[in-house]
Amino acid sequence: MTEPAPAPNRPYVPLWCKSNYSFLEGASHPEEVVDACRQKGIPALALTDRHGVYGMVRAHVRARQQGIHLIAGAQISLREGAEILLLVRDEEGYRNLCRLLTDGHLRSSKGKCSLNGQAVCGCSRGLLALWIGPLDPRASPEAAFEPLLGQFKAAFEDRLYILLARHRRAEEILPEIQLRKLARRFSLPTVAAVEILYHVPERRRLQDVLTCIREGATLTTAGRLIRPNDQHALKSPEELARLFNDDPESVRRTLEVAARCSFSLQELRYRYPLESLPEGKTSSQHLRDRTFEGAARRLGKKFHGLIPQLRKELDLIRELEYEGYFLTMHEIVEYCRRRHILCQGRGSAANSAVCFALGITSVDPTQVDLLFERFLSRERAEPPDIDLDIEHDRREEVIRHVYEKYGRDRAAMVANVVRYRRRSAIREVGKVLGVAATSLDRLAKLVSHDHCNAEFIRQAGLDPRNPALLHLTSLVEEIQDFPRHLSIHPGGFLLGHRPVHDLVPIENASMPGRTVIQWDKEDVDQAGLFKVDLLGLGALTHLHLCFDLLQRHRQRELSLATMPKGDPSTFEMICRSDTVGVFQIESRAQMAMLGRLKPRNYYDLVIEISIVRPGPITGGMVHPYLRRRNGQEEVQYPHPSLIPVLKKTLGIPLFQEQVMQLAMVAADYSPGEADQLRRDMAAWRRSGRIERHRQRLVTRMVAKGIQPEFAERVFQQIRGFGEYGFPESHAASFAHIAYATAYLKCHYPAEFVCALLNAQPMGFYSAATIVNDARIHGIEVRPVSILDSHWDCSLVEIEGAPEESTQFAVRMGLRYVKGLGREDWRRLAEAARQAPFRNLPDLARRSRLHQDKLEALAEAGAFECLGLDRRGALWQIQGLTTEPRPLLPLAGRDPLPRFPALSGLETILWDHRASSHSSRAHLLKPLRPALKAQGLPTARQLNRMPNGRLVRYAGMVICRQRPGTAGGVTFMTLEDETGFVNLVIWKQTFERYSLLAKTLSCMGVTGNLQVAEGVTHLVVRKIWKPELEKGSLHLKSRDFH
C-alpha cells in the first residue's frame, strides 16, 4: 500500500463515477479512475457502474494499493423513469445491492436490468440512496416523482440524499431548481456531484465514440445522443469547489456520505459449500478417508510410498479449510463415473497426490515429480484451481447436475468479459467515424497485434492524412482492452455456501436457462472465491466412443485406468509420426517433432507436448534440448544447485514449473514469489511486468555463484516463455490421453477411426483426411447407404477376414450427409423399422423426408443399395413432389432416362460435395496416371528421397499455417492418396505466389527437400497450378488458424 496522498484544502468525495464496466458508457478503466483520485488528493471514491458491480474487484485491488477508500455502489434506472445511486454502507447493504441487481437482471433479457422503486425500497437496509432525478426532465417534471420520492424517504429515512450534478449544461439549470425544491419539501440533504465518465478530459472523444457504438449511430448523426461538453472528467477538489461555489455545504456533505460507507470487499466472508457428510464425520475426516481409499485403490502396493505426500497435502488443505472444494470436485468426478462420462482433471491440480487419489486427475504422482506449490501454497492463500475436462458432448449433463445439486442461487457460471481487440476496435470505431465499411474490412484484415498507426493505414492503401483515419488510429489504441459486454466462461462455476447473489449479482446469459455472475475469472481469483472449471474435451468423447466399440465388438473392457502402460509398438508408431487423430501430437508441427524427439516413454510424451509451444520455441530451448537428447551436445547446468530442477530436461527449462523452481532454488524466491513470477509471465499483454523480476533474479543468482551471463541467459529464457510456457502438470495430464489414443490407433485402428469420425468435430484433421489415413492403414471404409448406415459411423465385420488382419470395416454414418439432420435420421429409422424399403418412392412416402433431404442422400450415393445411381435417384426424387402422393405406392410411370454415368473422379467429387469426404478413394487417386505422366511423385515416394533433391510435387492442401513464432514463414501440408508432404514457404516466396498459395486447393510446388533426423520438408521455390482433368478440385482446407 502506498503512502496516503496529502489532504487537499477543500476535500470532497466523488460519489457518482462510472468506469468502463458501465459497458459502452464509461471511458476509463476503474484502475485509471482510482489512480487519478490518488493524484488529485481525493481520499475516497464511489464506483457506481450502471446496474452492476462489474469493475468493483479491479477498483478494490487498485484502491487498496493506492490507499483510497472505495465505496461500492451502482446506478439504477428505475422503471418509473428516475435514476438513483445506491451506495453500500455495510455488508448487509452489499448483500442487498447484489440481491437487488440480481433480481433486476434475472427478470430481464441479457444485459438489461428492470427494477422499480418498490423493489429498491424493499432492499434498503445497509444502503444509502442518492436521488438523481428523472432521465428526461422536460418529459417528466420532478413533481411527478413526488410519490416515489416519498416512498424512498419512508424506506431510506436519513439515508436518502438529493444529488445535485453539474456539468455546465444548459439543460440542467432548471432541473436543479426543481431538485432543490424537492429537497426542501422532503427535508432531504443535498450532495454535490459530477457524473464521472472518464478520469481525464482527453477521454471525452472515446466516451463520444462509445456512446455512438451503444446507440448504433455515427458521430455526425448522433446529435444530442452524445454529451454536449467534456465536463464529465474527475474534478480536483478545487475545481469542484469552484463549480459549487454557491453551495459549499453540498460539497462538504460528500465527505459525510463517504464516512457513512464503511464497507470493503475484503469483508466478504466466503466459504466453500460443504458436501453432505456421513454422520459423525467432519469434512476433514471425510476427505482424508476418501483420499486414502482412493489412493489404495489406484496405486495398490505403491500406495504406502505416497502416504507422506498425501498427509502433507491434506494437512495444508485442512489448514486452509479447502476440504469442501476437494469434496465437491470428487463428487462431480463420481457423478461422471456413475454416468459413464469420461473426465480428467488437468492444469495445476495434476501436481496434487490428493487429486490423483480422489480420481480427479490421472497423473500418477509416483511416476512424475510434480510441484505441489504450483497447485496450492500456504503463503499464497489462494483457492486452488482445478480444471476438469469432460467429454465435450456430455458436458452439458454435468453442468445441469451442478445446477441441480447446488441450486440456481448457489451455483452460477463465471463471466467472460469480451474486450476490444484491434480488429473489433477498427470495425466499431471506424463505423462511428463514418469510414466506409469496405475500407474498415480491409484494415481489420490487415491489422497486426502490435500497432494501428499511420504507417499501417498507408500500407492498407488508404490515405493516412484523412482526419477520420487519424482519429481511428489513436482511438483504436485507446479502446484496447475496454470491456464491451459479458459473455459466458466456457465452464467456470462459482459455488457458494450461501446464495451466490449475496457475493456478486447474477444475470441472464444469452443461452436460455444459463446464468452468469458479473465477475470474470480474474476477478473471482482476486476476490478469493472458489471456481470449478468444467471444460469440454473432444478427445475424451473419442476415447469413450472407442471404449464402447471395443466392448461391443470385441468384448474388451478398457478404460483410461486399465490401459496397458508403455506399449512398445505404440511408441514405435508415434516415432514414425503416424499420429493422425492422436490427441495433442497430431498437428504438422508435432508430427515433425516426433520424428526428431522419438518418444519412447510416457515422460517423453510429456516433453513432446510441451516443447512444440511458442514459449520453448521463442525461448530458444528446442534445439539445445534436442542436441543434448541426441548426444550431440554436453549436458551442462548453470549451477550444481539447479541439477535437481533441470535434470529431467537435460539442463534446459521446458516447463513453467521449472521456471518457478529455478527462481526458488537459484534466486531464493519464496513459493509465493515464484507464483507471482508465473502470473507475470502469463500477463503478456500488460508488457513490462516480467521486467520487474530481472534485477531480483539476476542479482540473486549471481550472489549464489551463477555466472552473470548465465544468469542473464536464464532470465532471457524466462522472458521468452511469456504466457506460452506450458505447465508440466498440464502436459502430464494431456500426455495420458495422448498415449491412450495412440494405443487405440495402434492396436484397434478400425475402432479408433470409427470413434474419431463419430466424435467430430474435434482435433486437427477433417473427416476426408481421417478417412484417407484409415485407407492408407488398410482399413476398409464403406460409403453411406440408406439400408446399411446408421446415424453414426459403425463397424461391420468383414466376412472371411483372416484373424490377424483388421476384422472390421467402417461404415460411414448418415451424419456425414450434408443437410441431413438427426431428426431426419429418426424418421428414416422409424420407417425402416416398420418394413424394409422397397424402392425410393416407398422410402420417400413412408419417411416423409423433404425433397432436399432426399436429394442430399441421392447425391451422397446413399440409394445405390437400391440399385439407383445418383443421377437416376435425383431424377426420381425430382419427380416425386410434382404430383399428389398416391394412396398406394406406385412405380414411376415414365421410363428412367439414361444419364451418363459418373466417372471415377466425378464420383469422388460428388462424395466430397455431398459428405465432405470420399470413402471410395482419395481425390488424386484417379488423377495419378496424369500426375505420373508429368513426372510428379507421390507423397510416399517423396518422403523417401534424399536431402537436397530438387523435386516437383502436387497434392491437395489440407492445412495452411503461419505461426507468430516463425518470422513470416508459412507452413502447409499437402496430401495425396499415400500420405502427407510438409511444405516450408519463406516469406518472399509466399508473397511472390501469394494468390496461388492462398487459393489453390490442389497445389503444385517445386522446391528442395530438407531431410533431417528422418523428417522431410519441402522448401518451396515455386508454386504452380497443376494441369489436371477439367473439373474443380476445390476442397476446404484448414487455413491460418
Partner 1 sequence: MDRVGAIPRSAADRTGCINIRALPLQLLLRRHPEWKQRPVAVVEQEKPQSPLLWVNAPAGRAGIRSGMRYASALSLDRDLCAGTVSEREIREAVRQVHQLLNRFSPRVEPCEDEPGIFWADAGGLDKLYGTLEAWARQIDLHLSRLEFSASIVIGFSRFGSYALAKAERLVTVLPSPEAEQAQSRRVSLLHLQLDPRLRDRLEKLAIHTLEDLLGLSEAGIQRHLGEQARDLYRLASGELSRPLQPQSIPQPLRSRMDLNEPDPNAQRLLFRIKQLLDPLLRAAAERYQAAAALQLQLRLENGTRHHQRIQPARPTLEVSVLLDLVRLRLERVSLCAPLLELRLEVEAVGVSAETRNLLQRNPRRNTEAALQALARVRAEFGPDSVLSARLKPGHLPEARWEWRPLHGLTPATPRPGPIRPLVRRAHARPKPLDRKRPPGLEPLLGYLISGGWWNREVRRDYRFVNTDRREVLWVYYDPQGRRWYSQGRVE
Sheet of 808-811, strands arranged across: 781-782, 808-811, 794-797
Residues 6+ apart with CB under 8 A from 439: 430, 460, 462
Contact 267, 91 (CB under 8 A): yes
Minimum CB separation of residue 895 from partner 1 in Å reads 8
699 vs 1040 by CB, closer to partner 1? 1040
Contact 19, 55 (CB under 8 A): yes
Minimum CB separation of residue 511 from partner 1 in Å reads 25
Minimum CB separation of residue 422 from partner 1 in Å reads 16
219 vs 354 by CB, closer to partner 1? 219
Contact 802, 808 (CB under 8 A): no
Q: What is the 3-state secondary structure (H, E, C) of 13-74?
A: CCCCECCCCCCCCCCCCHHHHHHHHHHHCCCEEEEEEECCCCCHHHHHHHHHHHCCEEEEEE
Cα-Cα-Cα-Cα torsion 1033, 1038, 1040, 1041, nearest 10 degrees, comes to 170
Residues 6+ apart with CB under 8 A from 605: 574, 585, 599, 735, 738, 739
40 vs 870 by CB, closer to partner 1? 870
Q: Taking Cα atoms as reference points, which of 764, 787, 761, 903 lies closest to residue 840?
A: 787
Residues 6+ apart with CB under 8 A from 577: 591, 592, 594, 595, 1015
Owner of C-alpha cell 501430437: 585
Minimum CB separation of residue 995 from partner 1 in Å reads 6
List the beta bridge partners of residue 85: 75, 130
Contact 746, 568 (CB under 8 A): no
874 vs 951 by CB, closer to partner 1? 874
273 vs 879 by CB, closer to partner 1? 879
Minimum CB separation of residue 742 from partner 1 in Å reads 37
223 vs 640 by CB, closer to partner 1? 223
475 vs 737 by CB, closer to partner 1? 475
**Residues near partner 1 (CB under 8 A):** 138, 141, 168-170, 173-174, 204-205, 208, 219-220, 223-226, 228-231, 433, 436-438, 440-442, 445-446, 460-461, 467-468, 471, 859, 870-871, 874-876, 878-879, 882-883, 894, 897, 899-900, 995, 998-999
Residue type, 498: R
Instruction: Report residue 169: phi and psi, to 5°.
Output: -105, 145
Residues 6+ apart with CB under 8 A from 187: none
Minimum CB separation of residue 579 from partner 1 in Å reads 31
276 vs 438 by CB, closer to partner 1? 438
Residues 6+ apart with CB under 8 A from 993: 1022, 1023
170 vs 933 by CB, closer to partner 1? 170
224 vs 301 by CB, closer to partner 1? 224
531 vs 871 by CB, closer to partner 1? 871
154 vs 174 by CB, closer to partner 1? 174
Minimum CB separation of residue 784 from partner 1 in Å reads 17
Minimum CB separation of residue 855 from partner 1 in Å reads 9
Query: Taking the CB of residue 508, how many other CB atoms lie within 10 A of it?
Result: 18
Minimum CB separation of residue 277 from partner 1 in Å reads 57
39 vs 218 by CB, closer to partner 1? 218
User: What is each CA distance from 105 to 197, 509, 523, 987, in whole angstroms?
Assistant: 23, 10, 20, 51
740 vs 1002 by CB, closer to partner 1? 1002
Contact 159, 130 (CB under 8 A): no
126 vs 861 by CB, closer to partner 1? 861
- What is the distance between the alpha carbons of residues 692 and 695, in angstroms, rounded to a whole number? 7
Instruction: Report residue 638: phi and psi, to 5°.
Output: -60, -30
Residue 392 grid coordinates: 465435450
Alpha helices in 821-948 (DSSP H): 822-834, 840-847, 851-859, 870-880, 904-915, 928-933, 939-943
- What is the distance between the alpha carbons of residues 494 and 500, in angstroms, rounded to a whole number? 8
Minimum CB separation of residue 421 from partner 1 in Å reads 17
Minimum CB separation of residue 434 from partner 1 in Å reads 8
Residue 383 grid coordinates: 483457492
CA-only gyration radius of the chain, Å? 33
Minimum CB separation of residue 819 from partner 1 in Å reads 14
Contact 984, 1015 (CB under 8 A): no
Residues 6+ apart with CB under 8 A from 561: 298, 362
Minimum CB separation of residue 42 from partner 1 in Å reads 23
467 vs 513 by CB, closer to partner 1? 467
Contact 105, 112 (CB under 8 A): yes
201 vs 595 by CB, closer to partner 1? 201
Minimum CB separation of residue 231 from partner 1 in Å reads 7
528 vs 899 by CB, closer to partner 1? 899
Q: Taking Cα atoms as reference points, which of 787, 290, 804 lies closest to residue 796?
A: 787
Alpha helices in 454-534 (DSSP H): 454-459, 467-479, 521-526
Contact 250, 194 (CB under 8 A): no
Q: Taking Cα atoms as reference points, which of 730, 726, 762, 360 lies closest to residue 583?
A: 762
DSSP H or E segment with residue 315: helix 303-319
Minimum CB separation of residue 67 from partner 1 in Å reads 33
Residue 504 grid coordinates: 456478486
Minimum CB separation of residue 491 from partner 1 in Å reads 31
Minimum CB separation of residue 337 from partner 1 in Å reads 47
Minimum CB separation of residue 160 from partner 1 in Å reads 24
